[in-house]
Amino acid sequence: MSFETLPWHLPPGWPLILGGLALALFPVRWRAWLLPLPALLALIHLERFDTGAFGVVTMLDQKLVLARLDALAWPFAWLFGFAALVSSVYLRSRPHRREVAAGLIYAGAAIGAVCAGDLLSLFLYWELTALASTLLLIPHDARPDYGVALRYLMVQVLSGVLLLGGVILHLQGGGTLNFDALSLGNAGNTWILAAFAIKAAFPLLHGWVVEAYPAASPAGTVFLSAFTTKLAIYALARGFTGTELLIPVGAVMILFTLVLGLREDDLRRTLVYGLINQLGFMVMALGIGTPLAQSAAVAHAISHVLYSGLLFMGLGAVLLRTG
């Protein structure tokens, strides 16, 4: 095994992960004041990286690239860092210990995933986002209902199992661990696409989003809306841009959410259907696969994180004031 030292010692995202663990130990008053600090440190740390691959581990003739920043990973990493900063400020009003730790670790794992240069590192961050985001769904009252959190965790773990199984089949078919463009020519890559499809809320796989996001606290919903589905869009952009199957899938996502969203009388569920609707446009653009279409999907993902976060923040403020 050989290892090339990372600049500044930590891969992107880890200041948030470590900061979330540390802040959970502070008293509530200190926790509230220090909440934005890990996100600021993560952005400063991210700025230290140039484009390229860092922290390359060679193991069993396979290369693990712990950090890679290029034209696709860079905007998502900065977007997630900024979203973590804004969400941290929003969380300051009610900085519950578990929610602080889960939210910051979740954001840090999402940054780590978009900077992962190999499929194994992607899997590890993929599962960390699942575990951390599940904690955001556990209520703080004396008699919490764990049903939503458990169902959400089962779906997220299924996505991880499919991803790991796909990676193993991909290697058995003569592939490498490099996380680059993949094709649907073998079973392994099909499993990997299925893992991405779950987190991207493809039709018939979207129920977890509609159930889980409204069940979280107002601040938890803001964190959830920013990372999981956009991480899936990044993964599709990295691995399956130009896959024509994505065009009809995206079209169905756009159409059926319009109908379901108009029938809702719960505003948070309506916003969730709107979120899936916009994911459909991104998925369709990635299926078209031209450089312009891919750029449009990335640009739309960035704008959607910003405006959907603002919508959920505004709605959360109303819920906190009115009940």
pLDDT, tens digit, 9 for 90 and up, residues 181-191: 898 888 999 99
Give CA–CA dist 19/37, Å, rounded. 8
> What's the whole-model pTM score?
0.93
pLDDT(141) > 70: no
265 three-state secondary structure: coil
Give CA–CA dist 73/111, Å, rounded. 9
63-96 confidence digits (pLDDT tens): 888 889 999 999 999 999 999 999 999 988 787 8
Let me know: does 69 contact 113? Beta carbons within 8 Å: no
Give CA–CA dist 83/307, Å, rounded. 11
pLDDT(60) > 70: no
pLDDT(125) > 50: yes
Residues 218, 222, 225, 231: is their CA dihedral positive or negative? negative
pLDDT(1) > 60: no
**Token pair for 105:** 């670790």
Higher pLDDT pick, 51 / 229:
229
Least confident of 24-28, 127-131, 199-203: 24-28
